[in-house]
Amino acid sequence: MVNKYIKRIYTIAIFLFLYAPIILLIIFSFNKSKSLSSWDGFSLKWYIELFNDKHIMKSLYYTLLCAVLSSIIATIIGTFAAFGIFNMKKIQRKIILNLNNLPLLNPDIVTGISLMLLFAFLSRYKLRLGFLTMLIAHITFNIPYVILSVLPKLKQMNKDIYLAAMDLGATPFYAFKKIVFPEILPGIITGMLIAFTMSVDDFVISYFTTGNGVSNLSITIYSMTRRGIKPTINALSTILFTVVLSLLLVVNKRSKSIKDLT
């Protein structure tokens, strides 16, 4: 009984340590004053100023646009890549997976500088640093996460069901649509969510691969640290956290509903 309570207290302490800064940020996003040490009353002032700040709104636009596009494209490429890796021989699969893991283990600064040098080399072919180069960079580092999310679902799938559908007259596309795709869909959604989150969160690689006039939120917030971070960033962070949390709850509920039906 004592051990049970100790485990609960330990678990609660860990979650408090992880989420206390976020809770504090959310609370002070409604603070009337700029202070983070004293509460001067409830106000939506910083939320109103947030939507009136053109610079932050422009950065938010680039952030979300890059995150959505990179996560969709990376998910498509990563899903097909996972199929290819899954159907390889054991030695080939092991080599490709090791190569796939390299971008995950590499420090972001190494990846960022490498991509910057590549884009600098390609600049002679009129590829200038800007939104396109940042998008390509985000797709590049997101693909391995999608592969690692989809591949386990392929390994869990029973191949015999797919082959049985083919024997019963189903076309390869129809068998994929009705049998394979529903089986790997949770992995695809997970990979897309991870890719979206990594893209929104990225700073180092974006910093080295973007150009003048194009910056995401992380670069904008970094530039603010020299002059002092505005309380509007607290409001923006609260909105992003709420949206991501809501999306996660919806996906989990949907996945649970699918499992109940099957």
CB 206 within 8 A of CB 135: no
Number of domains observed in the structure of the chain: 2
Do both 98 and 10 map to the same domain? no
Q: Does residue 146 share a domain with residue 58?
A: yes
Confidence (pLDDT) at 143 = 94
Question: What CATH number is attached to the domain comprising 71?
Answer: 1.10.3720.10
Report the chain's terminal Cα–Cα distance, integer Å.
38
Task: Report residue 31: phi and psi, to 5°.
Answer: -75, 140
Q: Residue ranges of the chain with pLDDT lower than 70?
A: 1-2, 251, 254-262
Is residue 215 located within the same domain as residue 236? Answer: yes
Residue 166, pLDDT score: 77
Judge contact between 199 and 66, C-beta under 8 A: yes
Pair 86, 31 in one domain: no
Same domain, 35 and 73: no
Q: Let me know whether 186 and 93 are in one domain.
A: yes
Same domain for 39 and 64, yes or no, is no
Residue 258 has what pLDDT? 53
63 is in which domain, residue-wise? 53-261
Q: Is residue 185 part of a domain?
A: yes
DSSP string, 74-114: HHHHHHHHHHHHHTS-HHHHHHHHHHHHHHHHS-HHHHHHH
The answer to whether position 64 is within a domain reads yes
* pLDDT, tens digit, 9 for 90 and up, residues 176-226: 788 888 888 888 988 898 899 889 888 899 999 988 888 888 888 888 777
**Cα–Cα distance between 25 and 80 in angstroms, integer?**
40
32 and 74 together in one domain: no
Does 161 map to a domain? Answer: yes
- Domain membership flag for residue 1: yes
Asked if 117 and 109 count as a contact pair (C-beta separation under 8 A), the reply is no
Q: What is the pLDDT of residue 1?
A: 61
pTM for this prediction: 0.84
Structure tokens at 110: 């190494």
SS3 of residue 202 by DSSP: coil
Instruction: List C-alpha distances in Å: 16 to 10, 24, 161.
Output: 10, 11, 46
pLDDT of residue 259: 54
Same domain, 37 and 156: no
Q: Same domain, yes or no, for 37 and 57?
A: no
Which CB contacts under 8 angstroms, 24+ apart, belong to 185-188?
185/258, 186/153, 186/255, 186/258, 187/149, 187/150, 187/151, 187/152, 187/153, 187/154, 188/75, 188/79, 188/146, 188/149, 188/150, 188/153
Tell whether 48 is covered by a domain: no
Is 83 a member of any domain?
Answer: yes
Same domain, yes or no, for 79 and 13? Answer: no
Judgement on whether residues 142 and 250 belong to the same structural domain of the protein = yes
